[in-house]
């Protein structure tokens, strides 16, 4: 079995230099880090987890708790998510484990049991809600974690996110700039942090333009094709004002909106303008919809590497400000919007 000493002899570096390079310490040059990592791969080096735990008090294992089996629509995404995180942590010499909780389990009891084993150094948390109890528990017990998202204005933990306030604002503002005044928003599940932030952006754009906020136009539901279909049909079959434009939380919702509009005899963009946020999910792409949909874009798959990097570096002692990032998004104009 290859050891750190074998790598140090191979490269003519000290064992300390090799160790710090493999653990991505900031005082190691990029050139040295690359040499060491390539040598470790060439010599088939595998970190000794038992030795690491004796020296550092850590196991080298990080975890993710999944509260339920993903449905058919989410299964492909879930596998990409697990593969991306596993590969990311592997690059940092860490093992990534998945814990499938029982449907009846209290999530906090699950975390308490796992923390009690002292076998997991930290956790990846996704899909945060406002005042998330998982985050409160881990913070109170000084358990390291990285969050995919945000829950507070000045977080004291590692996170990776996009600016969802700006996403909601940019999508709505684009429709306002094309003369639309009656704009609906089919958003995600009530209580989710990113849903709240996108609503803030949506309402900010309306307010800046002097437009009223209409509760019946601000809709919630799972980020699915079915949500887009049902909520759109309800809007156009109900009494009261109808929107001339719709903001969709993602491309799955947008796909459902197309189906619903066709069912009620309307089309994009002739009757209704449509914008959406695109996570670049593999199962639904903008150019494969009946009309290519304009909107914001930020590939969700590009989150997995940074999440693994942030938690790994934080466990190795990186400053908090170096493991908190809000990634940019872009706006792409296609053919789904026309002037009101």
Paired tokens of 194: 């990113």
Which residue reads 């790598």 in tokens? 7
pLDDT at 154: 84
Region 233-238 average pLDDT: 93
pLDDT at 51: 55
Helices (H) then strands (E): counts for the chain: 12, 12
What backbone phi and psi angles, to 5 degrees, belong to 95?
-100, 135
Q: 272 or 238, which is more confident?
A: 272
Q: 316 or 255, which is more confident?
A: 255
pLDDT band per the 50, 70, 90 thresholds, residue 69: confident
- Residue whose C-alpha is closest to residue 126's, from 193, 51, 41: 193
Average pLDDT, the chain: 90
- Residue whose C-alpha is closest to residue 253's, from 329, 185, 328: 185
Region 242-246 average pLDDT: 97
| Model confidence pLDDT, tens digit, residues 161-200 | 999 999 999 999 999 999 999 999 999 999 999 999 999 9
The pTM (predicted TM-score) of the whole model is 0.82
**Percent with pLDDT over 90 in the chain:** 67
Of 17-26, 162-171, 286-295, the least confident: 17-26
SS3 149: coil
Which residue reads 């998945």 in tokens? 98
- Sequence-distant (6+) residues with CB within 8 A of 329 are 162, 163, 166, 167, 170, 277, 296, 297, 298
According to the 3-state scheme, what is the secondary structure of 188-228?
A: CCCCEHHHHHHHHHHHHHHHHCCCCCCHHHEECCCCCHHHH
Region 217-238 average pLDDT: 95
Region 78-91 average pLDDT: 90
pLDDT above 90: residue 269:
yes
- Sequence-distant (6+) residues with CB within 8 A of 51 are none
Region 124-144 average pLDDT: 94
- Residue whose C-alpha is closest to residue 249's, from 176, 186, 313: 186
- Sequence-distant (6+) residues with CB within 8 A of 83 are none
pLDDT band per the 50, 70, 90 thresholds, residue 54: very low
CA distance 306 to 294: 27
pLDDT above 50: residue 23:
yes
SS3 252: helix
Of 31-35, 182-186, 327-331, the least confident: 31-35
Of 7-11, 21-25, 145-149, 167-171, the least confident: 21-25
pLDDT band per the 50, 70, 90 thresholds, residue 103: confident
pLDDT at 296: 97
**Percent with pLDDT over 70 in the chain:** 96
SS3 84: helix
Angle ∠(10,15,20) on CA atoms, nearest 5: 110
pLDDT at 175: 98
| Model confidence pLDDT, tens digit, residues 294-321 | 999 999 999 999 999 999 999 988 999 9
Q: What are the Cα distances from residue 100, in Å, to 107, 112, 115, 134? A: 11, 15, 15, 16
């Amino acid at each position: 079995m290859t050891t750190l000493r074998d790598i140090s002899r191979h490269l003519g570096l000290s064992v300390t230099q090799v160790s710090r390079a493999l653990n991505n310490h900031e005082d190691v040059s990029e050139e040295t880090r690359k040499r060491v990592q390539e040598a470790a791969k060439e010599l088939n080096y595998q970190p000794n987890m038992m030795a690491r735990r004796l020296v550092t008090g850590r196991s080298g294992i990080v975890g993710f708790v999944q509260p339920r089996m993903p449905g058919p629509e989410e299964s492909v995404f879930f596998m990409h998510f697990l593969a991306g995180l596993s590969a990311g942590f592997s690059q940092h010499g860490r093992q990534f484990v998945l814990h499938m909780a029982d449907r009846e389990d209290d999530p906090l009891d699950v975390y308490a049991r796992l923390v009690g084993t002292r076998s997991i150094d930290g956790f990846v948390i996704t899909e945060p809600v406002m005042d998330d109890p998982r985050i409160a528990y881990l913070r109170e017990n000084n358990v390291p974690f990285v969050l995919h998202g945000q829950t507070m204005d000045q977080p004291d933990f590692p996170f990776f996110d996009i600016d969802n306030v700006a996403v909601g604002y940019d999508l709505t503002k684009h429709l306002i700039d094309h003369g639309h005044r009656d704009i609906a928003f089919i958003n995600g599940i009530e209580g989710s942090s990113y849903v709240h932030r996108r609503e803030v952006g949506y309402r900010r754009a309306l307010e800046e333009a002097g437009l009223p906020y209409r509760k019946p136009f601000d809709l919630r539901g799972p980020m699915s094709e079915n949500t887009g279909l049902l909520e759109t049909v309800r809007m156009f079959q109900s009494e009261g004002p109808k929107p001339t434009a719709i903001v969709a939380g993602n491309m799955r919702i947008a796909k459902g909106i197309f189906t619903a509009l066709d069912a009620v005899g309307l089309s994009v963009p002739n009757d209704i303008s449509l914008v959406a946020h695109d996570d670049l999910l593999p199962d639904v792409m903008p150019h494969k919809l009946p009309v290519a949909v304009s909107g914001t874009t930020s590939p969700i798959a590009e989150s997995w590497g940074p999440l693994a990097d942030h938690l790994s570096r934080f466990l190795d002692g990186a400053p908090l400000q170096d493991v908190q990032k809000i990634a940019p998004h872009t706006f792409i104009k296609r053919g789904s919007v026309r002037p009101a």
